[in-house]
Amino acid sequence: MVIRDTDQIVKVLNEVTNRGDLNMAVGLVADSEGILFDHASGFRDDDKSLPMQTDSIFAIASMTKLITTIAALQLVDSGEIQLDEGIDEYLSEIRDIQVLEGFDSGDKPIFIKASRSPTVRELMTHTSGYVYSIWNETALMAQTKGVTSPLGGGRESIDGPLYFEPGSKWEYGIGIDWLGVLVEKVAGKRLMEYFSQYIFLPLRMQDTFYEYPEDKMDRSVVMSARIKGELIRSELYQPVPAEEGSMGFYGGGGGLYSTVFDYSRVMRALLNGGILDGQRILSEELVEQMFQNQIGELDVSTGKAHITALSNDFDMGFGSQAKWGLGFLVSPIGTENGRSGGTASWAGLFNSYFWIDREKDLCAVFATQVLPFYDEKAVATVKQYERAVYGLTD
């Protein structure tokens, strides 16, 4: 696809920061052969003395999930994992898992034994029964009452029950964190080590990591929060340097830092059927499956926020029907802002968004660093950015 008017894309990114709606914004568009467009606007520090750059390194949060899914699919390619095998075949701690149905009048949790453990495919497709307390009221109650641990606290933070029977519905959740545990168990490597060896090195992704290197902190981006309509410095998730290998737990569902350039390498590999610059990371057959509906008659639902400091309500289908493939949402009929039918997409908690449009041979990423998720100004900019990429006029 040829981008007709890059000036319009630049205008979208510049105007949102010039108005002060976002402190920074960065965008990149590519096709299977290379980069078509990249631009950064705004500032990456509190004092507005450091301009945002296209190689600035930012937290990608749940955009990590695609990397973890690719890692697991590599193990499917090698025959070490079966997509429709119960995960209790690989992880003994999942055997006899329970479903938390709610709480009785005395605030005691009501558990029932799950009919079976989730399958690997159900972990990948958010149909496993695992949820996030950010968007699930029962899970938040369980966390508040000490039945489960708070999210983000390490390995113990994902230990907990299911909240519905596997395969019975779609709900965004911590299943991909469990997929990361599965990759570590089967591969016999820590998740970051696996990513580095089998994804980041082959794709030449030199700026993607969990632990932020001290010598790259000069490319870091300050995290903002929108409180009562005002942008302020966030008290949470500021980037800090850490020694490689120092983390006790690598979450498959989030935690990576990256750049728009690095992330485009993953997207371009998928546009090319699993290969980029002669390095194959996934079979063509499995790449094809990633872009197919894997949840049948179920639909990807909207999210109702219960921890409003972290998220607003969200609709990642942007008003269009949404299914789930392997690793991302799939839009069967595209979107009104330009994406073709079959386009894959997802996002990160700090308002970074990507999509992969195979019909148009195009992939794009937009990122800022602000909480809560599905920020009104960020989402409006994503839609304008998308329309500019496809050359649509209002």
**What CATH code is carried by the domain that includes residue 240?**
3.40.710.10
| N- to C-terminal Cα separation, the chain | 20
Q: Is 225 a domain residue?
A: yes
- Helix 376-389 to helix 6-18 angle (10° resolution) is 170
Tell whether 225 and 360 lie within a shared domain. yes
Domain boundary among 187, 213, 239: 187
Q: Is 306 a domain residue?
A: yes
Tell whether 163 and 274 lie within a shared domain. no
Bridge-based pairing state of the strands 224-227 and 362-367: unpaired
pLDDT in tens, 70-84: 999 999 999 999 999
Q: Where are the alpha helices (DSSP H) in the chain?
A: 6-18, 64-77, 120-125, 137-144, 175-187, 191-195, 260-271, 284-290, 376-389
Q: Tell me, what's the pLDDT at 154?
A: 84
Q: Which of 21, 12, 8 is nearest to 376 (CA)?
A: 21
Which positions of the chain have pLDDT values less than 70? 1, 394
Tell whether 285 and 364 lie within a shared domain. yes
Q: Is 123 a domain residue?
A: yes
Domain boundary among 187, 220, 239: 187
Report how far Cα 176 is from the mean position of its chain's Cα atoms.
Answer: 10
Token representation of residue 7: 């000036």
DSSP state of 174: T
Q: Tell me, what's the pLDDT at 286?
A: 98
Tell whether 175 and 211 lie within a shared domain. no
Tell whether 351 and 384 lie within a shared domain. yes
Q: Is 394 a domain residue?
A: no
Q: Is 221 a domain residue?
A: yes
Which sequence positions are flagged as catalytic? 62, 65, 172
On whether the pTM is more than 0.85, the answer is: yes
Q: Is 110 a domain residue?
A: yes
pLDDT in tens, 274-321: 999 999 999 999 999 999 999 999 999 999 999 999 999 999 999 999
Q: Is 27 a domain residue?
A: yes
Number of separate domains in the chain? 2
Q: Tell me, what's the pLDDT at 237?
A: 96
Tell whether 121 and 69 lie within a shared domain. no
In whole angstroms, give the CA distance from residue 22 to residue 141: 33
Side chain identity at 42, as an amino acid letter?
G
Tell whether 97 and 169 lie within a shared domain. yes
Q: Tell me, what's the pLDDT at 188?
A: 98
> What's the burial of 19, exposed, middle or buried (CB within 10 Å: 0-12/13-18/19+)?
exposed
Q: Tell me, what's the pLDDT at 394?
A: 61
Tell whether 351 and 235 lie within a shared domain. yes
Tell whether 223 and 354 lie within a shared domain. yes
* Cβ 320 vs Cβ 333: under 8 Å: yes
Tell whether 95 and 67 lie within a shared domain. no
Domain boundary among 187, 215, 241: 187
Tell whether 383 and 253 lie within a shared domain. yes
Q: Which domain does 167 fall in, by range?
A: 81-187
Q: Is 233 a domain residue?
A: yes
Tell whether 216 and 159 lie within a shared domain. no
